[in-house]
Structure 1
Amino acid sequence: MQKEYHIRPALETDGPILCAAEQRIAAIPGRLVSHPDELRVAAFAERIRLLDEIGCYLVAEKDGVIVGHAVLEPVGSRKALAHVFTLASMVVHPGSQGQGVGTALMQELMRWAQQRPHVERIELRVREQNTVARQLYEKFGFVLEGRFDKRVKLADGSYLVDLMMAWLASGTASASTQAST
């Protein structure tokens, strides 16, 4: 049973909560690429401020408590890539996993993207072993496009595989479709 969540744009004042949640998750090997000591509150506030105009930074709240956040941002400033966005972060906060937070955030991110004709492609990277996240992305139309072996190196010297997934807006032909026409 999916709970009701209030999804809203992130505020700069949310930075400390978002940073603390990511630091806790980053302490679990392989969950995030960042290490806990690499995450700074000021960077969260700056990213929220920047994306207010050019992207989408959302938080999910349950009973006034932030339980997750997600970031959709342009891949860069080049005109040839202006139609491409990246799901840079999708974080369900500790204690809130398996309760529909990710689904609620994805629904709102996709609604945001679909209301903007210039967003034609969304890319993301996800660890191969993160089957829950992969299934969520597939549910929203993301397809596997690539595999990056030995991309994420853990502190113990072992490696994780990153998978590249992408979503294309309806009406946007894939490269394989264009090549066959």
Structure 2
Amino acid sequence: MKMSPRVFQRNDLFYIIRSATEDDAKELSALRLQVDGETEHFDREPGEGFIDEQGFQELIGQDTRSRHCLFLVAEAEGNLVGFSRCSGSELKRLSHHVEFGVGVKKTHWGFGIGSNLLKKSLKWADQQQMKKMTLRVLETNKHAMDLYKRLGFEVEGVLKADKRLSDGKYYNTVMMAHFFSGEEK
């Protein structure tokens, strides 16, 4: 599904959040690879689960045609600096629910890009009459967890010793959810 673009400003940075287009595919492939290497907060190490230009074109095309999916990008100074995706299901038993994921270049942290991608996604999900949005966050990512809680997410569960990081230790993944329209939890 597509959403109309919106311009944001934080400090001296102007950026646009808009729906991804197939023309973004090549840049998205490189951006995702870069973001994966800048933090251990993601599931992937650089190069793992690589999606090439054609793969992103197909994914964006599918998401654009689906009422259960939303693929957004953040663009600053003519370059993509972040992205988010809500992925839902056409299956009736799951069609009320979407899963959210986000990535922002480290050079662009602190400008509210991830926060605004999430806010725009929450608004979209509510307009689509979704009942629930979920996400997964590594327990060490306290900044993200605080943001999610401020935006109405709550902890649903913990996957213990779910990820092994570069220090050789295992860390928990926290599963969080946002419920719309006063739905029962």
Does residue 148 (structure 1) correspond to residue 159 (structure 2)? The answer is yes
- For 1:99, the equivalent position in structure 2 comes to 111
Does residue 35 (structure 1) correspond to residue 45 (structure 2)? The answer is yes
Go from structure 1 to structure 2 and tell me whether the alpha carbon gap of 1:94 and 1:18 turns closer, same or farther (over 3 Å shift): farther
TM-score, normalisation: structure 1: 0.85
Go from structure 1 to structure 2 and tell me whether the alpha carbon gap of 1:140 and 1:4 turns closer, same or farther (over 3 Å shift): farther
For the 8 Å contact 1:5–1:104, the answer to whether it is kept is no
Runs of 4+ in 1 over 4 A off after TM superposition: none
Structure 1, gaps ≥5 residues long = 175-181
- For 1:173, the equivalent position in structure 2 comes to 184
Structure 2, gaps ≥5 residues long = 1-8
Report the alpha carbon displacement of residue 153 of structure 1 after superposing the two structures with TM: 2.4
Report the alpha carbon displacement of residue 62 of structure 1 after superposing the two structures with TM: 2.0
**1:41-97 deviations in Å (ceiling 9; x for gaps):** 2332222111112210001122322221100010x443111101100x201123101
Match 2:22 to one of 7, 12, 36 = 12
User: Identity of aligned pairs, percent?
Assistant: 30
- For 2:82, the equivalent position in structure 1 comes to 68
For the 8 Å contact 1:25–1:31, the answer to whether it is kept is no
Report the alpha carbon displacement of residue 4 of structure 1 after superposing the two structures with TM: 4.3
- Give the Cα separation in 1 of the matches to 2:26 and 2:166: 26
- For 1:179, the equivalent position in structure 2 comes to none
- Give the Cα separation in 2 of the matches to 1:29 and 1:63: 23
Residue identity in the other structure for 1:159: Y
Go from structure 1 to structure 2 and tell me whether the alpha carbon gap of 1:111 and 1:29 turns closer, same or farther (over 3 Å shift): closer
RMSD: 1.8
- Give the Cα separation in 2 of the matches to 1:139 and 1:18: 28
What count of residue pairs does the alignment treat as equivalent?
A: 171
